[in-house]
Structure 1
């Protein structure tokens, strides 16, 4: 009969358990899944990658938001003060540039207006001085000596009356352009106008308001009456368009000079 104590002291031997067919099958499935993943596994992997990327972006955003987290209160005040000063300087510079722009635009417009006014005045003076041909409405006066000679004073009074009626340009017989300095002299065979001898009939083309000019010729004891007393017949024709082609040569001043040239 064996001793129970000795039986207890004898070492126990554990027999190795051989791997069964279930464990081998599990390893093969794991290896197969790693080497040849299925569609569901790919989807899960993509989702995990998206979640990881979102986490990284969130951490980076938090880090950016904490840029000034370590600043002291006074440091933050200084930063804000500097930004406010830069903003004020920028606004002041913008205001200055806008004012400079407006001033340039105003100066340009003023120069343009002044230039236009000067051009208009030069054109008007050129017309009055007889330096350029002109076209416009007006009247044509035809004076034919019948029983007597027309006196120079009668013609001068007629011209003055037409000027009072705002005549802008006048010419005699298509040859002589009348200006402020024009002169009339009675002569054998006709009239001398600005040094040129003209003979009857005298054709006077006048540009201006036709009704005003015609009225100036027909007033009581006016030019028409004076010409009739000199023995001449007078015909006045109103024209919607009249061309005055004769011009006077420009006269260069001998002594006077523009202020800029002094």
Structure 2
């Protein structure tokens, strides 16, 4: 005699149908999600990196050589600053009468006076002239040029008759043109800049730099290297 076949066991039923079993935590799906997130982050980082290096990837060989030379000049200038500071430190350590400290203080006072714009200055540099015959340039264009010169190591700058300082500003004049520190600038705009001439010229001429931006705006920039630039405009202390 055979026993009756047992019917499968079902959970309790409700009016809405059979109850659902709880889902198990799928580790495989979680792992796939994490990998996708990491891959997306890597792709985004790569795209941003490509965007930043586009201008270098499309630059000509002579332009890349110029950029490399500019970086080498800046690196050499920083190494020179380190050597000067080390020499000053050694002199102060050997000094017993305080004379070295006095001379160093005088040198620093003169340097800070030139940087602050309260003293005249002279040295090698460039004359940077911006010709804007149509009057299309705005304050932000001159500010971009100024910032590029500062990034390239410009030590002292004069724009027309205005000595540039840490608080110097450019603004669009209501009647047209550009105002610097409250003074209306005349066209063509002339920058007198003290600093390493080669580095300054290279910085202005890099792909996508100041000179190219000026050409795109209908203006023209010309640069002349000089062994001695004299800046006489000063700022009130």
Pairwise TM-score range, normalised by the shorter structure? 0.5 to 0.7
User: Taking structure 1 as the reference length, what is the TM-score of the superposition?
Assistant: 0.52
**Secondary structure at the residue paired with 2:96?**
helix
* Greater relative contact order, per chain length (Cα 8 Å cut-off, separation 6+): 2
1:181 paired with 2:167, answer yes
More helix by share: 1
Contact 2:135 2:177 (C-alpha < 8 Å) held by counterparts: no
After superposition, the CA RMSD in angstroms is 1.4
- TM-fit CA distance, 1:242: 1.1
Q: Compare CA radii of gyration and give the structure with the larger one.
A: 1
2:179–2:185 contact (8 Å) kept in structure 1: yes
Partner of 1:225: 212
Q: Does structure 1 residue 107 correspond to structure 2 residue 96?
A: yes
Q: How does 1:184-195 map to 2 (within 5 A)?
A: 184-187=170-173, 188-195=175-182
Runs of 4+ aligned structure 1 residues displaced above 2 Å come to: none
Q: 1:148·1:230 contact (CA, 8 Å) conserved in 2?
A: no
Aligned residue pairs: how many?
Answer: 143
For the pair 1:145 / 2:132, whether they are aligned, the reply is yes
- What is the SS of the residue equivalent to 1:238? strand
> In the alignment, is the contact (CA less than 8 A) between 1:129 and 1:179 conserved in 2?
yes
Measured against aligned partners, the alpha-carbon deviations of 1:117-163 in whole angstroms (never above 9, x if no partner) come to: 21111111101100111111110011111334212111111111111
The equivalent position to 2:229 in structure 1, one of 221, 242, 250, is 242
Please show how residues 18-37 of structure 1 align to structure 2 within 5 Å: none
| Shift, 1:106, TM fit | 5.1
Give the 3-state SS of the residue equivalent to 1:189 in structure 2. Answer: coil
Q: Please, what TM-score do these two structures have when normalized by structure 2?
A: 0.58
- Which of 158, 164, 167 aligns to 1:171? It is 158
User: Residues 119 and 225 from structure 1, CA distance in 2 versus in 1: closer, same or farther, beyond 3 angstroms?
Assistant: same
Listed as ranges, the gaps of 5+ residues in structure 1 are: 1-104, 251-262
